[in-house]
Amino acid sequence: MFNNKPLITRWLFFIVVFTVISGGAISMNLIERVKKNEETAAKLSYFAHKEYLKNKSETSSLNHFIVENNPNVSFVILNKLGKPVYWKYLDESLLVRFSVQKLERKGFEEISLQDPNYRLFYSHSTLIQILEFIPHLLIFLMIFIVVASYINLQGLGKAEQNLLWMGMTKETAHQIGTPLSSLLGWLELLKLEDIDPSIIQEMDKDLNRLNNIAERFSMVGSTPSLIDLDIVEVTRKTMDYIKSRASSRIKFEFICEAESLVIPLNRTLYAWVIENLCVNSIDSIKGEGTIKILIEKTSRYVNLSVIDSGSGIPYQFKQKIFEPGYSTKKRGWGLGLSLARRIIEEYHNGQIYVEKTSVGLGTEIKIILPRRLIL
């Protein structure tokens, strides 16, 4: 179970961008074609005017008609002295103190002629101006879509957080249910003959777990305090608790060369992360299997890996397991790993990610925590 909206939004974004780019390319092609037609029209006007001047007779009426009725294209014909001899659709202000520079500043382009006695300049029609505006409009539209998509994705982030908090009550019930079931079992044993002291100890552990769960949920949503704690001790105790309640067919292994590693931690929330990773590993193992926790240190960081021999994670879901709502369990809410990421990355300034996984062979989740508090 996971949210498909980000994927849909990305595809919609790519489709719109492709449409905008295609539209821009089509517009540019259309502009070039219209420009070519207008250049041809200006040349036609020039040659028609030239023929008209040569032979002002009835036989040249067609040429005169072409000159007078060639629509939209502004053009001006200059003699070899650079003086206008004929023009069409030309702004009269350009004729005052006329110069070629004024024409060029107004966007007129020169058409190369074979005749050295004349020069032909023309300006694009209003249609070209409209068409040239379209790519700018499409670029603006694309920018708008990018911004809107970004805002939408940000909104989805907020929606995912809301999903996180909405599912919190169900997660609480799920978390409390396990130790409560255990307590009920211990109470049934107490109804029998003699009370074994070890039973009282186990009941005490489960009651403490209930208190820890309540404390965990009270911390999520607020900034927890970090104090210097031995990560080796906290991790080992958490693993031992899970081990005592797991199937005997699952073997646990704890590896750490250092006897003690003190780093800034919130005991309650960090233990929750380790517990969650171990429980997920247990759920992924069908029958016999192993769960190994490996702790290593560098000069600046502590690296912790939870390695199991479970079913592994399909490649297409590798990046999704930390998203709120994603779960491979039919009755899961997909909140555990999302909370784990929040605890490690936001509260402890660390990293948590899938180091490696293979379907049928297992998974390794890696946590990197700073050895000193990062301000």
Q: What is the pLDDT of residues 296-345, one digit of tens each?
A: 999 999 999 999 999 998 888 887 888 766 666 655 555 678 889 989 99
pLDDT for 76 equals: 80
Q: Of 75-89, 222-236, 351-365, which gets the smallest average pLDDT? A: 75-89
- Exposed e or buried b per residue across 192-227, where buried means at least 16 C-beta atoms within 10 angstroms of its C-beta: eeeeeeebeebbeebeebeebbeebbebbeeebebe
Query: In terms of residues, how long is the chain?
Result: 375
Picking from 107, 128, 149, the residue at the C-terminal end of a domain is 128
CB distance 70 to 120 below 8 Å = no
Same domain, 206 and 336: no
pLDDT for 297 equals: 93
Residue 57 predicted with pLDDT over 70: no
Picking from 182, 204, 219, the residue at the C-terminal end of a domain is 219
Residue 211 lies in a domain: yes
Residue 161 lies in a domain: no
Residue type at 224 in one-letter notation: P
Residue 140 lies in a domain: no
Helix, strand, or coil (residue 118)? strand
How confident is the model over 190-228, as pLDDT tens digits? 656 666 677 667 777 776 777 677 666 666 556 778 999
Phi, psi of 157 (to 5 degrees): -60, -45
Same domain, 253 and 201: no
- Average pLDDT, whole number, for the chain? 74
pLDDT for 291 equals: 97
Residue 373 predicted with pLDDT over 90: no
Residue 160 lies in a domain: no
Residue 153 lies in a domain: no
| Paired sense of beta strands 250-256 and 289-297, if any | parallel
CA torsion through residues 226, 227, 228, 229, sign: negative
Highest mean pLDDT (candidates 105-109, 179-183, 282-286): 282-286
Inter-CA distances, 274 with 10, 213, 218, 307, Å: 34, 14, 18, 12
Same domain, 322 and 279: yes
Per-residue pLDDT band for 184 (boundaries 50, 70, 90) equals: low
> Rounded CA gap, 375 and 373, in Å?
6
Same domain, 27 and 113: yes
Same domain, 40 and 103: yes
Helices (H), 55-121: 61-69, 100-105
Summarize the confidence of residues 267-280 as an average pLDDT: 92
Per-residue pLDDT band for 60 (boundaries 50, 70, 90) equals: very low
Same domain, 240 and 207: no
Residue type at 102 in one-letter notation: K
Same domain, 79 and 190: no
How confident is the model over 133-183, as pLDDT tens digits? 666 666 666 666 666 666 665 655 555 655 555 555 456 656 666 666 666
pLDDT for 82 equals: 80
Residue 133 lies in a domain: no
Summarize the confidence of residues 274-286 as an average pLDDT: 92
Residue 287 buriedness (CB in 10 A; 0-12 / 13-18 / 19+):
exposed
Q: What CATH number should be reported for the domain holding residue 300?
A: 3.30.565.10
Same domain, 176 and 49: no
Element (H, E) at 305: strand 301-308
> Rounded CA gap, 255 and 160, in Å?
36
Picking from 219, 235, 252, the residue at the C-terminal end of a domain is 219
Residue 271 predicted with pLDDT over 80: yes
**pTM of this prediction exceeds 0.75:** no
Same domain, 27 and 91: yes
8-state DSSP, 228: E
Same domain, 179 and 285: no
Q: The tokens 């008609």 sit on which residue?
A: 65
Give me the number of domains the chain comprises. Answer: 3
Same domain, 99 and 181: no
Q: The tokens 């109804």 sit on which residue?
A: 191
Range of the domain at 123: 5-128
Residue 375 lies in a domain: no
pLDDT for 25 equals: 65
Residue 26 lies in a domain: yes
- The better pLDDT of the pair 13, 337 is held by 337
Residue 349 predicted with pLDDT over 70: yes
> How large a percentage of the chain has pLDDT more than 90?
25
Same domain, 277 and 173: no
